[in-house]
Amino acid sequence: MLTVVPDSLESAAQEAGGPSVSLLDELVREGARRMLAAALEAEVAAYIDAHTDEVDESGRRLVVRNGHHEPRQVLTGAGAVEVTAPRVNDKRLDEMTGERKRFSSAILPPWCRKSPKVSEVLPLLYLHGLSGNDFGPALEQFLGTSAGLSATTITRLTVQWQDEQKAFAARDLSGVDYVYVWADGIHVNIRLDSERLCLLVLLGVRVDGRKELIALADGYRESEGSWADLLRDAKRRGMRAPVLAAGDGALGFWGALKEAFPQTRAQRCWFHKIGNVLSALPKSAHPGAKKALAEIWNAEDREHAQAAVKAFVGQYGVKWPKATAKITDDEEELLAFFDFPAEHWIHLRTTNPIESTFATVRHRTKVTKGLGSKAAGLAMAFKLIEAAQERWRAVNAPHLVALVRAGARFERGKLVERDPTHETADGNAAAEAAA
């Protein structure tokens, strides 16, 4: 049986009247070291046993033990653990290359200095605000060493992220069908550039209901030309026209959408629209206006929403016609979500999936006083979204997304099982064909 508690630590704990925090850390590290050593020994023993029948002309085994490697430290979730890995002398020759075969541990490869979990933590800490120069001091006390935690490590990571972002931007989209999309432009500061970085973001809902990043590009002030370039590129790579697109009404996105996907319906974001309406009203009118606007976007169905629009215009239209015009001019686009499943309304009426995701980007740029370059900013935003995407939940009632793509009709948020008009037309066509 493997004994985890060494005598020295056990006696020290007894003298202290119980394990202290530092003693617990040492206990965990010592246990990790012993368990890792036992696992490596077992792995080597199994490898040698598997080749005991292979011998040379003199009858000597071709695969035998050969002492141990030099001790090295490996960063793990338990801290820095010193490892002395066993060595194997493998005298067999590879028939293809003619070179000697080598034993490589699956548990601890020769190049490994950090466990995969620690390697995953480093970019996440950087993305969420820890400066590259702060890694050593911040993690040395926790892990017991600062080896492998230099700013150079993060620099190499950022270069890798840029390559991953470029590969993502060039991927094939013909095998994925996005039924709903959200579009928004996010502005972040750049330390080495006088202009702010404008990130054009396109998120989508697949037929199975899962949310996914479609495209992320550097645009110019959310212009129609920048959005047109992004949408044309997505279409060229095989993207199919979505059924509904949601976004802020001020975007150049809408003009570009009409050009690239003219059949896609538009849904204005209510979060942005409410802000636009309130900006045209005095602060004293804000509480009542918010309540009146909520009666529209949170209505039971389209008919009740249209009645709430009329009530809003009747209450505020005489004094503040510009405020009410912001609703009436875009009424059709603001109420488009009512023609889709009621379970999806909460997802479609705002661009919240993008806003909530990019809260982490804004936090990161505040900590670092802006990004170093546009390329670095684009790569960092891509990695943040990629990390957040793993936690995104599917839309409500995901099975209904496929019906939306199939052209099913919904009234008051419910699926219309049969359309009498279509049924009559189909019946007449069948009768004519029979005659």
pLDDT (average), residues 22-28: 67
Residue given tokens 């965990």 in the structure block: 28
Distance between CA atoms of residues 425 and 79, nearest Å: 73
Give the pLDDT score at 388.
78
Residues 348, 337 contacting (CB under 8 angstroms): yes
Report which of residues 426 and 75 the model is more confident about.
75
Residue 78 has pLDDT above 70, yes or no: no
Give the pLDDT score at 195.
60
Distances in whole angstroms, Cα of residue 159 to Cα of each of 125, 163, 328, 377, 380: 17, 7, 49, 12, 10
Q: Minimal CA–CA distance to 161: which of 400, 429, 373, 406?
A: 373
Task: Give the confidence band of 16 by pLDDT, cuts at 50, 70, 90.
Answer: very low
Give the pLDDT score at 360.
58
Residues 335, 305 contacting (CB under 8 angstroms): yes
Mean pLDDT lowest for which of 84-88, 105-109, 276-280?
Answer: 105-109
Give the pLDDT score at 353.
83
Residue 394 has pLDDT above 90, yes or no: yes
Express each pLDDT in 94-142 by its tens digit. 888 888 888 888 777 776 666 655 555 555 556 555 555 555 555 555 4
Express each pLDDT in 155-166 by its tens digit. 677 788 888 899
Q: At 76, is the secondary structure helix, strand, or coil?
A: strand
Query: What's the first-to-final CA gap in the chain, in angstroms?
Result: 88
Task: Give the confidence band of 202 by pLDDT, cuts at 50, 70, 90.
Answer: very high
